């Protein structure tokens, strides 16, 4: 059975968009690029475990599954029962399954470190105020919540910054899964965090996708950069804006392009509209907090990553054009 882990989080996209719009055009520090192959990446082991499980090679699936930090699963609220069901679904051999469960149970029953507890509590506070903000309907309430968000964010950002200064990027045992989301909101320190996160990725810790997301927020790409690429494939995926996934034919064309032109260097979603407000709704969610069409696009990004067996950087851009709204995917190779 195919095993996929999707960890969705709602970043403060309104805040992100406001800051990012002021730093377009800045040069990306290419010394921060990740190598094409990350043999020690925990997420790479997860992808390989998934792939071997699909083709029925339970032994090699178990080999990679055993290399994943058990605190990763603790962080995403796995229970012992859930881990047992995963080993059964994967048909992991009995000896390896016992090893998986023993590693997980040790982590699951261990006393949580203070940083883990602190980062988890910060994330709960972070998400609570942002959920309220995404649901507010009047300017006064939104202004109050924005001030509350800033008041909540400041000590969170300072705690994470001081932690990284003293200890480097946290491990999953020390709350990395929660720290990642806090870092995605902290524009003041994003570029400071990048080399620490990069080192952690290369040592088999953090997710390459998180690293690339953080880098793309710290060094936003613009339309001029996209236009400068000569080698790119274009796909109209405007159906996503109506809440529908691309047709099987279009999805097949995209995956075929990935196979034909790999390695894909970057994915761009360009939102073409006469109204920038519509783009913000796409990114932030509408007035009712509905964010689902963004996640349809996100799932397409995930499928492209899986087709290349790697994590491809991506960007969402706005292009002012008359006529009906359109969403266009570009694969740069």
Tell me if 172 sits within 8 A of 69, measured CB to CB: yes
Here the tokens at position 221 are 């790409």
CATH number of 222-332: 3.30.1330
Identify the band that residue 39 occupies on the pLDDT scale cut at 50, 70 and 90.
Answer: low
Query: Picking from 82-86, 185-189, 258-262, 281-285, which range would have the lowest pLDDT averaged per residue?
Result: 281-285
Q: In what order do the strands lie in the sheet with 326-332?
A: 232-236, 326-332, 266-273, 314-320
Of 101, 100, 91, 93, which is closest to residue 1 (Cα–Cα)?
91
| pLDDT tens-digit series, residues 203-228 | 878 877 788 788 877 776 567 778 88
Q: Could you tell me the sign of the dihedral formed by the alpha carbons of 198, 202, 204, 208, in that order?
A: positive
Tell me if 148 sits within 8 A of 139, measured CB to CB: no
pLDDT at 329: 95
pLDDT at 23: 33
Q: Which of 59-68, 311-320, 323-332 has the highest mean pLDDT?
A: 323-332
Distances 165 to 142, 155, 193 between C-alpha atoms, Å: 34, 15, 9
Is the predicted pLDDT of residue 134 greater than 90, yes or no? Answer: no
Domain boundaries, the chain: 42-109, 112-218, 222-332
Tell me if 299 sits within 8 A of 269, measured CB to CB: no
Helices (H) and strands (E) in the chain, counts: 15, 4
DSSP 151-207: HHHHHHHHHHHHHHHHH-SPPGGGTHHHHHHHHHH-TTTHHHHHHHHHHHHHTT-S-
Tell me if 277 sits within 8 A of 229, measured CB to CB: no
Is the predicted pLDDT of residue 9 greater than 50, yes or no? Answer: no
Q: Which residues of 25-35 are buried (b: 16+ CB within 10 A; e: fewer)?
A: eeeeeeebebe
- Confidence (pTM): 0.61
């Amino acid at each position: 059975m195919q095993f996929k882990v999707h960890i969705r989080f709602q970043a403060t996209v309104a805040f992100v968009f406001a800051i990012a719009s002021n730093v377009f055009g800045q040069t990306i520090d290419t010394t921060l690029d990740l190598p094409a192959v990350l043999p020690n990446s925990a997420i790479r082991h997860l992808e390989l475990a998934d792939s071997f499980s699909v083709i029925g090679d339970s032994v090699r699936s178990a080999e990679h599954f055993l290399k994943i930090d058990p605190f990763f699963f603790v962080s995403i609220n796995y229970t012992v029962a859930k881990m047992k069901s995963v080993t059964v679904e994967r048909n992991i051999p009995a000896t390896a399954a016992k090893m998986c469960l023993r590693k997980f149970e040790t982590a699951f029953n261990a006393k949580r470190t203070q940083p883990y507890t602190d980062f988890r509590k910060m994330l709960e506070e972070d998400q609570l105020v942002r959920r309220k903000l995404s649901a507010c309907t009047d300017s006064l309430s939104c202004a109050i919540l924005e001030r509350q968000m800033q008041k909540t964010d400041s000590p969170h950002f300072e705690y994470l910054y001081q932690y990284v200064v003293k200890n480097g990027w946290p491990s999953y045992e020390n709350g990395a899964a929660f720290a990642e989301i806090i870092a995605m909101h902290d524009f003041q320190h994003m570029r400071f965090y990048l080399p620490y996160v990069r080192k952690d990725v290369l040592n088999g810790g953090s997710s390459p996708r998180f690293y690339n997301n953080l880098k793309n927020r710290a060094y936003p790409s613009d339309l001029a950069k996209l236009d400068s690429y000569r080698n790119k494939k274009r796909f109209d995926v405007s159906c996503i804006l109506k809440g529908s996934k691309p047709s099987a034919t279009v999805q097949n064309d995209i995956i075929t392009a990935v196979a034909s032109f790999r390695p894909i260097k970057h994915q761009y979603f360009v939102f073409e509209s006469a109204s920038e407000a519509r783009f913000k709704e796409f990114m932030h969610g509408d007035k009712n907090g509905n964010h689902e069409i963004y996640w349809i696009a996100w799932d397409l990004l995930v499928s492209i990553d899986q087709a290349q067996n790697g994590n491809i950087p991506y960007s969402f851009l706005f292009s002012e054009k008359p006529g009906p709204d359109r969403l266009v995917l570009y694969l740069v190779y």
